[in-house]
A and B are shown apart, each in its own frame.
Chain A
């Protein structure tokens, strides 16, 4: 380093100090001069520092002040882990010693009881780490045995895998195997995090304090063998045949189950047995009476934060979980993810992704696993479908089947032209799948990003398809005599993906409490507007699919009218080929489109209902689309435009202007004369919307229950039926609550609007557990006078 500390923030006063410091020579490590050759520069530094102004900063030239904001600070007790105070037991704790060291002084606990206490605490700390969002150093890594084993592994100690070596068989076999198993599970979690589906810090902390052991684990079979030997030892040891022996055995079995979880990632295993066992063992452990065994004093400590590589502020240790039941949840959610292996169509894949994390946030480990199982390193979906095949499946399952583009896809020049856009579309599709596994807040942000991707993909597909000579062949006339619009199967698919993403983005904002009540009309009316656009596209594709089905049936009719001969045989062959190759896809698509339209109809009715709910409340004067704030900084148009920023650049559906939103609102507001009668009519119309939404939900639920076998529509939810059912049932309950809430509003506000109502009431958006967060109740709340200080 030329100038060890050279740059001064304000140069003038600092030249002297810089000169002094730059004269110092940094000695290479290990060649520091003897102390009699060193002299104190303390006084010199103090003299120079006395000349500094408060604003001056002494820093190295390349040091960025922003980078500095991530720095820790020496002698700041909140930020300096060196200031952590350790007890003598923590300082002196030795993993090479078996406990009790002195049985007379150590509460009379036997060594197997100490081992039980350590493993019990570790198993509970895993729960606080992976389920309660606590950091790794304050939970699992606070265990000195874990640190010790990881250090041993990093040093390359292998052979007999005797990382804990005390001379005591329980410590050296049972504790050694148990702690190694916990480390192995930690390494699995690290692999999940590296997969990129979940986010470090936000979803899960993996501050490994620089311990490399996680990356050098022994083979799983070795760890399991050690655990099996340990279990055998516990079962045959000369210790009381009581609940505590069962506890120790159960803890080893539980850890063995955790060790086996790695296979779901590294081998894409589908055997659920280890997960069932995990749940069973956890339940059995919880059923045991509590124990009062103590861990060896100093064996769980903040020491690692003080002594190892630590870039984070010190954090106190957390209490271990009081129960093992969280392992049951982990097992359940993992088993749910494993079900996706059975998906055999794009419908099943997309519906699984859409519903599996929808009703409640799935466990972080299962969320991390899902995208890695779905989209694999071998460039396949589920190990079954290459990326190009999977891409085609998704399109084939919507708009491509039976189209000219489908025929042309494998021929030039169409293939070469569409390939680069398909790559981009595939990336958007990857993001879509991955996004469904995100935590509830990231899920919405993911859609924010995807809007641009889908918009770009749609525009490119549209441009290509418009210029593609064959596209005119796939014309769709929605009404007899209408000029046909081209189907554009690629662009239509991208449009549907985009519009659904837009709707999800908007409605998820309610669930996350992002919007204030005054914004709710705009958000719901915009959703309604999007559902109309989506509906038009779905109908377009449906008309095309029906026309293709009709045209195939027409071949049959034509064939029957023909006399026997070459022409008839040609028609027969054409008919059979179409029936075999096109009809199954077309019929399936027809039924899936029906489901999509039914779902969209439900969204349309509910968002329209909510818009009317707002309009009614505004008619009484208790809410407005303008910010209730009287601040000089408020500009309603700017606020509106900022809120709709994510959609501002979207080509279609085009974002209506602020003025259009204002104009539309007028149509939802009623006034005198005949106010009461208008309220009644509005209420009736709103109830019709709820009824229609309810009918859609009933129809969908019926199909889910019948496993799509009724032929009414195809929901594709077979692999995720329970979650899909809960999702729609929750919406059905929400409809009931919306109706009740509206009745209550009208009863409270009465037959006419008056200025007093605005003083007496205001509106709050209420999210109720068990109801859909996408359609909150607009609750009328009495306004309390503000208390003055």
Chain B
């Protein structure tokens, strides 16, 4: 079995529906169509799909949805909004490769840091992201609708990530990062 990774084609409605299915199946938060539209219409290039090359239906078995924008007018922040892999395909490193693809793309587009939130109890997600260099920045009390606490995790990409926003205000967040080359 070979897993193929592709950027999302926003005009492929089959993929879009399948992606919704994958995410709705496992995430604790119910997402409306507006949430998907918010991410996918504005940052389609930051959504990746995973396919099983041997599958007959040509539908994705995993996906990642991200965005990238200026944070407090101080730095470019990439954000991993959703990540899901079909149950039967878990434990094969597919999620990790999806995240890597997305991070590569966000770094390429000039992000100073990548951020996400995950449930404190979601050990698999924490292991995945911390294995990629993310660190827990803060704990958020009862963050999710299922009443679980969450950690906010950040992966620093450039030195701007470690400067308080207050001291970066009014700098152009789109200035190319200095140390991009060190990371990629």
Contact = CB atoms under 8 A, between A and B. Distances in A.
A649 B162 CA distance: 10
Interface string B56-91: 000000000000000000000000000000000001
Most buried by A among B33, B34, B138: B34
A157 to B, nearest CB: 36
Contacts of B147: 133
Interface in A644-680: 644-646, 648-649
A514 B10 contact: no
B139 interface: yes
A203 B162 contact: no
Contacts of A232: none
Given A76-B32, A79-B32, A641-B159, A57 B41 contact: yes
Given A68-B37, A69-B35, A73-B34, A642 B156 contact: yes
B37 to A, nearest CB: 6
A639 B13 contact: no
Contacts of B162: 638, 641-642, 644-645, 648
A55 B10 contact: yes
Contacts, number: 141
A445 B138 contact: yes
Contacts of A53: 11
A631 B35 contact: no
Contacts of B24: 78
Contacts of B21: none
Nearest to B36: A69
Given A54-B10, A627-B133, A645-B163, A514 B138 contact: yes
B141 A203 contact: yes
Given A73-B32, A638-B159, A66 B164 contact: no
Nearest to A361: B141
Contacts of A642: 113, 135, 137, 154, 156, 161-162
Contacts of A631: 131-133
Interface in B108-132: 113, 120, 130-132
Interface stretch (A234-242, A436-444, A488-496): A436-444
A258 B51 CA distance: 58
Nearest to A70: B34
A27 to B, nearest CB: 27
A127 to B, nearest CB: 15
A634 B158 CA distance: 11
B30 A76 contact: yes
Interface in A758-789: 789
Contacts of B33: 73, 76
Given A629-B133, A631-B132, A642-B162, A68 B38 contact: yes
Contacts of B132: 629, 631, 633-634
A634 B133 contact: yes
Interface string B34-47: 11011001101000
Interface in A611-656: 627, 629, 631-635, 638-639, 641-646, 648-649
A516 B153 CA distance: 12
B12 interface: yes
Residues of B in contact with A, size category: 35 or more
Nearest to B103: A633
A575 to B, nearest CB: 51
Interface in B147-177: 147, 149, 151, 154-159, 161-164, 166-167
A65 B162 CA distance: 30
A288 to B, nearest CB: 30
Contacts of B137: 514, 642
Contacts of B130: 516, 629
B96 to A, nearest CB: 9
B42 A514 contact: no
A515 interface: yes
A442 B130 CA distance: 23
A73 B139 CA distance: 30
B120 A513 contact: yes
Interface in A78-106: 78-79
Contacts of B163: 645, 648-649
Given A65-B42, A444-B139, A789-B92, A638 B156 contact: yes
A643 B141 contact: no
Nearest to A629: B131
A202 B133 contact: no
A68 B32 CA distance: 9
Given A452-B166, A635-B133, A9 B41 contact: yes
Contacts of A57: 37, 41
B156 A635 contact: yes
A519 interface: yes
Contacts of A641: 156, 159, 161-162
Contact of B41 (A55, A79, A646, A789): A55
Contact of B32 (A71, A452, A634): A71
Nearest to A515: B136
Contact of A65 (B16, B37, B131, B136): B37
A325 interface: no
B142 interface: yes
B113 to A, nearest CB: 8
A73 B100 CA distance: 32
Contacts of B42: 65
B140 interface: yes
Nearest to B167: A649
Interface in A495-533: 512-516, 519
A313 interface: yes
B2 interface: no
Given A635-B133, A649-B167, A440 B141 contact: yes
A89 to B, nearest CB: 28
B138 A441 contact: yes
Contact of A71 (B16, B34, B149): B34
Contacts of A512: 138-139
A453 B10 CA distance: 46
B92 to A, nearest CB: 6
A65 B10 contact: no
Interface in A260-307: none
B40 to A, nearest CB: 8
A72 interface: yes
Nearest to A65: B38
A202 B184 CA distance: 38
Contacts of A633: 100, 103, 132-133, 155, 157, 183
Contacts of B34: 65, 68-69, 71, 73
Contact of A514 (B44, B103, B151): B151
B145 A632 contact: no
Contacts of A201: 142
A448 B138 CA distance: 10
A128 to B, nearest CB: 12
A133 B141 CA distance: 11
A378 to B, nearest CB: 31
A60 to B, nearest CB: 13
A789 B100 CA distance: 21
B52 to A, nearest CB: 15
6 contacts: A55-B41, A202-B140, A202-B141, A441-B138, A642-B113, A646-B164
Interface of B: 10-13, 16, 24, 30, 32-35, 37-38, 41-42, 44, 91-92, 100, 103, 113, 120, 130-133, 135-143, 145, 147, 149, 151, 154-159, 161-164, 166-167, 182-184
8 pairs of A and B residues whose beta carbons are closest in the complex: A68-B34, A641-B162, A78-B30, A634-B133, A73-B32, A638-B156, A441-B141, A512-B139
Given A53-B11, A441-B149, A646-B164, 15 more contacts: A65-B38, A76-B33, A78-B24, A78-B30, A202-B140, A313-B30, A313-B145, A441-B140, A629-B131, A632-B184, A641-B156, A641-B162, A642-B137, A643-B135, A648-B162
Interface of A: 9, 53-55, 57, 65-66, 68-69, 71-73, 76, 78-79, 133, 201-203, 313, 439-442, 444-445, 448, 452, 512-516, 519, 627, 629, 631-635, 638-639, 641-646, 648-649, 789
